[in-house]
Amino acid sequence: DAKTTQPNSMESNEEEPVHLPCNHSTISGTDYIHWYRQLPSQGPEYVIHGLTSNVNNRMASLAIAEDRKSSTLILHRATLRDAAVYYCILRLYGGSQGNLIFGKGTKLSVKP
Amino acid sequence: DTGVSQDPRHKITKRGQNVTFRCDPISEHNRLYWYRQTLGQGPEFLTYFQNEAQLEKSRLLSDRFSAERPKGSFSTLEIQRTEQGDSAMYLCASSRGTSGRPGEDTQYFGPGTRLTVL
């Protein structure tokens, strides 16, 4: 899998939008961009994924750069419950690889 | 959908003892994964199953580790002769599998088993 780069940590205020960046300059044309998050003392949780177009779901939005070398996870209104480590992961479209390859992620702190 | 469950949630053992963890995946999911996570790090892949077949094993999975999924439903992970370096969170995940399109496959994780080796 291609490598991703994320800031180690970010801070946000409650009820404000949060933009979590991820660089993946070596992404291939068939890599999907996935985001997972891990709340304290819990297993990781799927957030969103996309290939080329921006994506929205009930949890977040994913904005993908036109050249696909970077993406941004957007939490529209951060809550205290969004404090977690956020992982950006690339997954090959095809092939037999099944596992996720996690980096260190971005630790998001949310201040009341 | 009751989610992925793991048992026990915590295990404390003495060095040299054997331990076994159980994972019950989401019922219609045919893929099951084991990961290990140490403090401050992201989860690291150990092994995964497609139904009852173990398809991939990481180099992290030494010969003291063995995993089974005998009927394609629940899975067990056994660690023999535990060492202090085995202390970690052991996470299980499951997914539907997407017929050769892992890019679209979403994994659902359990709460993990925290192992402490004294």
Q: What is the pLDDT of residues B72-94, one digit of tens each?
A: 899 999 999 999 999 999 999 99
What residues does A88 pair with on adjacent strands?
A: A35
The whole-angstrom distance between B76's CA and the closest CA on chain A is 18
To the nearest whole percent, how much of chain B has pLDDT over 90?
75
CA distances to A4, A33, A51, B47 from A69, in Å: 10, 10, 12, 30
Question: Which of A34, A89, A99 is best to mutate for the B interface (most B CBs within 10 A)?
Answer: A99
What confidence tens digit (pLDDT) does each residue in B32-61 have? 999 999 998 999 999 999 999 998 888 888
To the nearest whole percent, how much of chain A has pLDDT over 90?
76
SS3 content of chain B, % helix, strand, coil (to 5): 5, 45, 45
State the DSSP string of A35-95.
EEEE-TTS--EEEEEESSS-EE-SS-EEEE-TTSSEEEEEESS--GGG-EEEEEEEEESSS
Helix (H) or strand (E) holding A3: none
Residue ranges, chain A, pLDDT below 70: 1-2, 92-98
Q: What confidence category does residue B1 fall into, taking pLDDT thresholds of 50, 70 and 90?
A: low
Alpha-carbon distance of B85 to B70, in angstroms, equals 28
On average, the pLDDT of chain B sits at: 92
Q: What confidence category does residue B104 fall into, taking pLDDT thresholds of 50, 70 and 90?
A: confident
The residues in A 46-65 lying below 8 A from B, measured between CB atoms, are 46, 49, 51
Of A45, A87, A95, the CB nearest to B102: A95
For residue B112, the chain A residues in CB contact (below 8 A) are 42-43
A43 with B109: Cβ contact below 8 A: yes
What residues does B48 pair with on adjacent strands?
A: B33, B56
* Nearest one of B71, B87, B91 to B19, comparing CA atoms: B87
A49 with B104: Cβ contact below 8 A: yes
Q: Measured at the alpha carbon of residue A83, what is the angle toward residues A70 and A77, in degrees to the nearest 5?
A: 70
What is the reported pLDDT for A31? 86
Of A36, A94, A99, the CB nearest to B100: A94
- The pair of structure tokens assigned to B80 is 């023999």
Alpha-carbon distance of A99 to B74, in angstroms, equals 18
